[in-house]
């Protein structure tokens, strides 16, 4: 009630003045409008008041709160400096708590991970997913879908070898596409994006798409466009006032149209799969899932259906393509900027793999320097600086602050990857972060680019396979450099997902 008590006298007198002024001037409609507006404002103040012992934070505007902060990394870093490793802000009536630094992020994701398994409700994406998918769903439905895809992605033995073969095959296509540039400057993002997306397509549908395939490229372009639009201020406004914003055209309508097209394309692929589906032969994830639809038809809460399969596949494509493409682009950019590191990786490739065979996963154990470089690329790339927001599933406390059920909790992963108490040179590209005194690879607890806990990246194991095989395959065949006279920038762009600003590189055959 502190907010209400602090501002009540001023608000009360202004309200009375406006109300009676309108009556005396015989403007009943304006008096009524003023009355409704003030009632709405007082209700909003009551809803937005902080409970006792809630994390501190900035004062927000009426109705809007701190909408200018949103999930902007730079704004959050400034607030973290002012308020500490745990603080709060408000967007309309939604309270958001941000935790920074390795210790607090570890507490939220691991020590108390069971309290923060849910995802915040998003009116915008509820229109798209209707509770389906993996990334944005919660509760029993999420657990069953996550369990299924976990079992498919984390298989060992023959199934894992099949995943490796798919990536190795795509490495060949990627290197052929790079070779076609014949040393001329080119933007690596489009072909890397296609290569990475093809790994998901092969696992899900048992086939890959040509890099020039119109439908395939359209799917990737619509996904990238929607990701950028989702970070716009008007989309944040939609999240707080959906019933009002639905009446107008805006970025939210474009996002809906994009997702409708993407889901339609995926459903078409699934229906083609169903036509020649064999219950005894499982070619890919879709075959296995289609079998589960029949097995679990009585478990309606688990929602195994063609609709949910399409949304889950969309999640896999978006979660597995954008972050992986950004990581590999950061890798190529950093190799061009640090030729001495690139030479070290290539020397290790020549020693362990040579030029006569393709890289394989067994090589990783014998390539500590390459592993250290790949981990440092992910640390410096910092592609998901704020992770994916969580929601408190029950009342709890963090760092002695009270966090009510339903509060959105953001884990500042960027602060962990740059924590001065965990890294010797956090602001530099320094692969030695992951090497011990004997030059052997060492894991670091504060290395959390995939988040951690039960809500950690579903495809983390697959991502690690892809990063190693794509990276070593390219550097085995090519040397990366900046175009003549060009100084490459490390500036990033994007909202929730950070990628290098568009850049060009040159490659020369080794």
* 3-state per-residue secondary structure call for 384-423: CCCCCCEECCCCEEECCEEECCCCEEEECHHHHHCCCCCC
Residue 176 and residue 217: Cα distance in Å, rounded? 18
Q: What is the pLDDT of residue 305?
A: 92
Q: How confident is the model at residue 5 (pLDDT cuts 50, 70, 90)?
A: very low
Question: CB within 8 A of 276, min separation 6: which ones?
Answer: none
Is 50 exceeded by the pLDDT of residue 473? yes
Distance CA 316, CA 204 (A): 9
What DSSP string runs through 124-172? Answer: HHHHHHTT-SSSS--HHHHHHHHHHHHHHHT--THHHHHHHHHHHHHHH
Q: What is the 3-state secondary structure (H, E, C) of 334-390?
A: HHHHCHHHHHHHHHHHHHHCCCCCCCCHHHHHHCHHHHHHHHHHHHHHCCCCCCCCE
Residue 489: pLDDT above 60? Answer: yes
Query: Mean pLDDT over residues 444-460, rounded?
Result: 90
**Which pLDDT belongs to residue 8?**
44
235 pLDDT tier (thresholds 50, 70, 90): confident
> CA separation (Å) from 153 to 204, 365, 494?
11, 21, 28
Encode pLDDT of 273-287 as tens digits.
Answer: 888 888 888 888 899
Q: What percent of the chain has pLDDT over 70?
A: 88
Closest to 327 measured CA to CA, from 378, 375, 370:
378
Does residue 158 have a pLDDT over 90? no
Closest CA to 220 of 169, 265, 182: 265
Please compute the mean of the pLDDT values over residues 368-377 and round it to a whole number: 98
Name the least confident of 56-70, 114-128, 336-350, 425-439: 56-70
Q: What is the pLDDT averaged over residues 227-241?
A: 77
Supply the pLDDT for residue 62: 66
Q: Is the pLDDT of residue 299 over 50?
A: yes
What's the rounded mean pLDDT across residues 357-377?
97
Does 2 have pLDDT greater than 70?
A: no
* 264 DSSP 8-state letter: H
**pLDDT for residue 10 is more than 50:** no
CATH 1.10.630.10 assigned to domain 50-509? The reply is: yes
At 70, is the pLDDT very low, low, confident or very high (cuts 50, 70, 90)? low
With CA atoms as reference, report the closest residue to 145 among 299, 370, 14, 261: 299
CA–CA dist 304, 243 (Å, integer): 30
Q: Which residues pair with 91 in a beta bridge?
A: 65, 94
What pLDDT band is residue 51 in, cutting at 50, 70 and 90? confident
Residue among 267, 199, 262 nearest 226 (CA): 262
| Confidence tier at 360 by pLDDT (50, 70, 90) | very high
End-to-end CA distance of the chain: 69
* CB neighbourhood size of 425 (10 A): 10
pLDDT of amino acid 234? 78
Query: Would you give the distance in Å from CA 158 to the centre of its chain?
Result: 30
Instruction: Give yes or no for residue 381 having a pLDDT over 90.
Output: yes
Q: What percent of the chain has pLDDT over 90?
A: 57
pLDDT at 17: 53
Residue 3's pLDDT is 41
Tokens 């607030």, residue located: 79
Band (9; pLDDT cuts 50, 70, 90):
very low
Q: Could you tell me how many residues make up the chain? A: 510
Task: Give me the residue label for tokens 């849910």.
Answer: 118
- Region 300-316 average pLDDT: 91
- Least confident range of 52-66, 120-134, 163-177, 193-207: 52-66
Residue 186 sits at φ, ψ, to 5 deg, of -150, 155
Tell me if 31 sits within 8 A of 23, measured CB to CB: yes
The predicted structure's pLDDT at residue 41: 55
Q: What's the pLDDT at 249?
A: 86
Q: Is the pLDDT of residue 23 over 70?
A: no
Residue 75 has pLDDT above 90, yes or no: no
Helix (H) / strand (E) element for 82: namely: helix 73-83
Tokens of 59: 């004062």
Least confident of 19-33, 313-327, 369-383: 19-33
Beta bridge partners of 97: 88, 409
- Is residue 326 very low, low, confident or very high in pLDDT (cuts 50, 70, 90)? very high
Helices (H) and strands (E) in the chain, counts: 18, 10
The pLDDT score that the predictor gives to residue 30 is 55
């Amino acid at each position: 009630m502190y907010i209400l008590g602090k501002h009540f006298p001023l608000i009360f007198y202004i309200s009375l003045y406006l109300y009676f002024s309108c009556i005396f001037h015989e403007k009943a409609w304006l008096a009524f409008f003023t009355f409704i507006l003030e009632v709405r404002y007082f209700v909003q103040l009551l809803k937005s008041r902080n409970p006792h012992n809630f994390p501190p934070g900035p004062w927000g505007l009426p109705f809007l709160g701190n909408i200018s902060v949103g999930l902007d990394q730079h704004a959050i870093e400034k607030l973290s400096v002012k308020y500490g490793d745990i603080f709060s802000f408000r967007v309309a009536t939604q309270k958001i708590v941000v935790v920074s630094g390795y210790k607090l992020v570890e507490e939220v994701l691991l020590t108390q991970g069971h309290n923060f398994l849910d995802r915040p409700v998003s009116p915008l994406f509820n229109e798209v997913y209707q509770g389906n998918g993996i990334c944005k769903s919660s509760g029993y439905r999420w657990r069953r879908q996550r369990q299924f895809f976990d079992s498919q992605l984390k298989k060992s033995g023959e199934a894992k070898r099949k995943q490796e073969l798919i990536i190795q095959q795509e490495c060949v296509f990627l290197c052929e596409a790079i070779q076609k540039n014949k040393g001329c400057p080119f933007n690596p993002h489009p072909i890397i994006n296609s290569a990475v997306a093809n790994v998901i397509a092969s696992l899900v549908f048992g086939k890959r798409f040509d890099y020039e395939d119109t439908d395939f490229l359209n799917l990737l372009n619509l996904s990238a466009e929607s990701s950028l639009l989702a970070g716009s201020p008007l989309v944040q406004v939609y999240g707080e006032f959906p019933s009002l914003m639905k009446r107008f055209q805006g970025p939210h309508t474009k996002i809906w149209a994009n997702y409708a097209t993407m889901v339609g394309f995926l459903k078409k692929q699934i229906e083609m799969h169903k036509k020649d589906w064999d219950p005894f032969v499982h070619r890919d994830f879709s075959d296995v899932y289609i079998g589960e639809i029949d097995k679990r038809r009585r478990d309606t809460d688990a929602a195994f259906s063609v609709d949910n399969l399409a949304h889950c596949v969309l999640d896999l494509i978006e979660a597995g393509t954008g972050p992986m493409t950004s990581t590999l682009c950061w890798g190529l950019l950093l190799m061009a900027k640090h030729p001495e590191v690139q030479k070290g990786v290539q020397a290790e490739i020549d020693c362990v793999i040579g030029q006569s065979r393709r890289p394989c996963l067994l090589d990783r154990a014998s390539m500590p320097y390459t592993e250290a470089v790949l981990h440092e690329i992910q640390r410096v790339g910092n592609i998901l600086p704020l992770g994916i927001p969580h929601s408190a599933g029950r009342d709890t406390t963090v760092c002695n602050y009270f966090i009510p059920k339903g509060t959105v909790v953001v884990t500042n992963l960027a602060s962990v990857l740059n924590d001065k108490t965990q890294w010797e040179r956090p602001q530099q590209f320094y692969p030695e972060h992951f090497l011990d005194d004997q030059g052997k690879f060492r894991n670091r607890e504060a290395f959390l680019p995939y988040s951690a806990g039960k809500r950690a990246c579903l495809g983390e194991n697959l991502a690690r396979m892809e990063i190693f095989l794509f990276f070593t395959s390219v550097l085995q065949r090519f040397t990366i450099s900046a175009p003549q006279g060009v100084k490459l920038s490390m500036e990033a762009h994007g909202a929730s997902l950070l990628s290098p600003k568009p850049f060009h590189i040159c490659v020369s055959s080794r």
